[in-house]
A and B are shown apart, each in its own frame.
Chain A
Amino acid sequence: MIRHKLPSKVDRPAEGSASPAPAVLLDDVVFSWPNRRRPALDIPSFRVQPGEHIFIAGPSGSGKSTLLGLIAGILSPQSGRVSVNGVCLNDLGGAKRDAFRGDHIGFIFQQFNLIPYLSILENVLIPCRFSSLRCVRAGTQAGSPVQAAQNLLERLDMSARLWSRKVNQLSVGQQQRVAAARALIGAPSVLIADEPTSSLDADRRKAFLRLLLRECGETRSTLLFVSHDQSLAEDFSATVFLPELNKAAEEDG
Chain B
Amino acid sequence: MARFCYLLFLAGKSAWNRRSTLLLVVFSIALSTTLLLGIEKIRTQIRESFVQAVSGVDLVVGARGGSIQLMLYAVFHLGGATNNMAWQSARDIAKRPEVAWTIPVSLGDSHKGYPVVATTTDFFVHYRFRGGRELALAQGKAFDSIFDVVAGAEAAKNLGYAVGQKLVLSHGSGGTHLTEHTDKPFSVSGILAPTGTPVDRSLYIGLDAMEAIHLNWQGGAPMPGLQITPEQVTKFDLEPKSITALLVGLKKRGQVFALQRAINGWKTEPLMGVMPGVAMDQIWSMVSTGEQALLFVSALVTVAGLAGLAAAILAGLGERRRELAILRSAGARPMNILILLACEGFLLVAAGAAGGVMALILLIAALGSTLADTYGIFIYLSPPDSGEWLLLSCVCLAGLLASLIPALRAYRMSLSDGLTVAI
Closest chain B residue, CB of each to CB of A116: B17
From the candidates B322, B323, B329, name the one contacting A107 in the complex (CB within 8 A): B329
Residue B420, interface by CB 8 Å? yes
- Residues of A in contact, count (CB < 8 Å): 30
Closest chain A residue, CB of each to CB of B419: A74
Residue A200, interface by CB 8 Å? no
Contact A117 B335 (CB under 8 A): no
From the candidates A72, A94, A111, A126, name the one contacting B327 in the complex (CB within 8 A): A126
Contact A117 B14 (CB under 8 A): yes
Which chain B residues lie closer than 8 Å to A130 at the CB level?
3, 327, 330-332, 336
How distant is B311 from chain A, measured CB to nearest CB, in Å? 21
How distant is B15 from chain A, measured CB to nearest CB, in Å? 9
Chain A CB within 10 Å, residue with most, of B327, B334, B419: B419
Within 8 A of A (CB), among B1-59: 3, 6, 10, 13-14, 16-17
Closest chain A residue, CB of each to CB of B332: A130
Contact A99 B331 (CB under 8 A): yes
Which chain A residues lie closer than 8 Å to B14 at the CB level?
117
Within 8 A of A (CB), among B290-344: 322-323, 325-336
Contact A69 B420 (CB under 8 A): yes
Residue B355, interface by CB 8 Å? no
Given contacts A74-B419, A109-B419, A115-B323, contact A129 B6 (CB under 8 A): yes
Closest chain B residue, CB of each to CB of A122: B13
Residue B423, interface by CB 8 Å? yes
Given contacts A117-B13, A118-B13, contact A127 B419 (CB under 8 A): no
Contact B331 A94 (CB under 8 A): no
How many interface residues does chain B have, given as a range? 20 to 34
Which chain A residues lie closer than 8 Å to B80 at the CB level?
none
Residue A172, interface by CB 8 Å? no
From the candidates A101, A114, A117, name the one contacting B17 in the complex (CB within 8 A): A117
Given contacts A107-B419, A116-B17, A117-B16, contact A72 B323 (CB under 8 A): no
Contact B420 A65 (CB under 8 A): yes
Closest chain A residue, CB of each to CB of B327: A126
How distant is B305 from chain A, measured CB to nearest CB, in Å? 25
Contact A75 B328 (CB under 8 A): no
Closest chain B residue, CB of each to CB of A119: B13
From the candidates B17, B323, B331, name the one contacting A127 in the complex (CB within 8 A): B331
Which chain B residues lie closer than 8 Å to A74 at the CB level?
328, 418-419
Residue A182, interface by CB 8 Å? yes
How distant is B8 from chain A, measured CB to nearest CB, in Å? 12
Residue A18, interface by CB 8 Å? no
Measured between alpha carbons, how far is A58 from B332 in the docked complex, in Å? 29
How distant is A104 from chain B, measured CB to nearest CB, in Å? 9
Within 8 A of A (CB), among B232-278: none
Q: Contact string, A97-134, partner B, CB cutoff 8 A, digits 1/0?
A: 01101110001010111111110000000110111000
Contact A126 B326 (CB under 8 A): yes
Closest chain B residue, CB of each to CB of A132: B2
Contact B329 A101 (CB under 8 A): yes
Measured between alpha carbons, how far is A129 from B327 in the docked complex, in Å? 10
Measured between alpha carbons, how far is A111 from B322 in the docked complex, in Å? 10
A interface residues (Cβ-Cβ under 8 A, vs B): 65, 68-69, 72, 74-75, 94-95, 98-99, 101-103, 107, 109, 111-118, 126-127, 129-131, 182, 194
B interface residues (Cβ-Cβ under 8 A, vs A): 3, 6, 10, 13-14, 16-17, 322-323, 325-336, 418-420, 423
Could you show 21 A-B contacts with beta carbons less than 8 Å apart?
A65-B420, A69-B420, A74-B328, A75-B418, A98-B333, A98-B334, A99-B331, A99-B333, A101-B329, A102-B330, A103-B331, A107-B330, A109-B326, A109-B329, A111-B423, A126-B326, A126-B330, A127-B330, A130-B3, A130-B330, A182-B330
